[in-house]
Structure 1
Amino acid sequence: MRVRCRRIIHPAADIPVPEYDGIRVGGVYPVLELVAYDIDCQIRVLGADTPDPGLLWDPADFETVDARIPPDWTLVIADGHTRLADARWQRPGFWTAYHQGDPQALADYEHVKRELLAANPPHET
């Protein structure tokens, strides 16, 4: 799945900006996951210069350019969240373990990221 950035609202200044943390208006980026919390939805997008593990964005600021879902993705509904992502990221506590430096979580993140970027590299306009 790939999306094109239509606009960026700077999170601290609440004003439109042409780029932020490796994401640029007009750029096309792979989606690493989709997360919905109650009525809020976000997509994790990784640009060429975006720090790991990518940033969560409002999907209203993007448009789909490739709707194909990667074959290893699963949909999980639990604890008030709906998450569409690679199955290796769906285990309970994955992101907590990742941020705590757990070697298996870091390895799983890197492996999935490499696969997604190889199939859908980001590109700027």
Structure 2
Amino acid sequence: MRVRCRQIIHPAADIPVAEYDGIRVGSVYPVLEMVAYDIDCQIRVLGPGTPDPGLLWDTADFETVDTRIPPGWTLVIADGRTRLADARWQRPGFWTDYHHGDPQALADYAHVKRELLTDAPPHEN
């Protein structure tokens, strides 16, 4: 799945900007995961200058340009959240483990990221 950034509202200044943390308006990015809770839905995207593990963005700021769901992705509903992501990221505590430097979580993240970036066409402007 790939999306094009339509707008960026700077989180601190609440004004439109052309670029933020490696994401640029008009560019296309692979989606690393989708997370929904309550009425909020966000996607994790990773731009060329974005630090790992990418950033969560409001889906209202993007439009879909490639609707294909990557192989190995699963939909999990738990704890009031709905997550669409690679099955290796769906285990309870994955992101906590990742942020604490757990070797298995870091390896799973790196493997999935490599797969998604390999399957995605180059970053477009």
Give RMSD over aligned pairs.
0.8
Normalised by the length of structure 2, the TM-score is 0.98
What corresponds to 2:64 in structure 1? Answer: 64
Aligned residues: 125
**C-alpha separation between the residues in 2 aligned to 1:117 and 1:76?**
23
Amino acid of the structure 2 residue aligned with 1:19: E
Choose between structure 1 and 2: higher strand proportion: 2
**By how many angstroms is 1:43 displaced?**
0.3
**C-alpha separation between the residues in 2 aligned to 1:19 and 1:119?**
24
Deviations 1:52-93 (A, max 9, x none): 000000000000000000010000000000000000000000
Structure 2 unaligned spans of 5+: none
Distance 1:78 1:55, change over 3 A: same
What corresponds to 2:37 in structure 1? Answer: 37
**By how many angstroms is 1:38 displaced?**
1.4
Partner-residue secondary structure (3-state), 1:76: strand
Q: Extract structure 1 runs of 4+ deviating beyond 6 A.
A: none
Normalised by the length of structure 1, the TM-score is 0.98
**C-alpha separation between the residues in 2 aligned to 1:121 and 1:53?**
19
Structure 1 unaligned spans of 5+: none
What corresponds to 2:109 in structure 1? Answer: 109
What corresponds to 2:99 in structure 1? Answer: 99
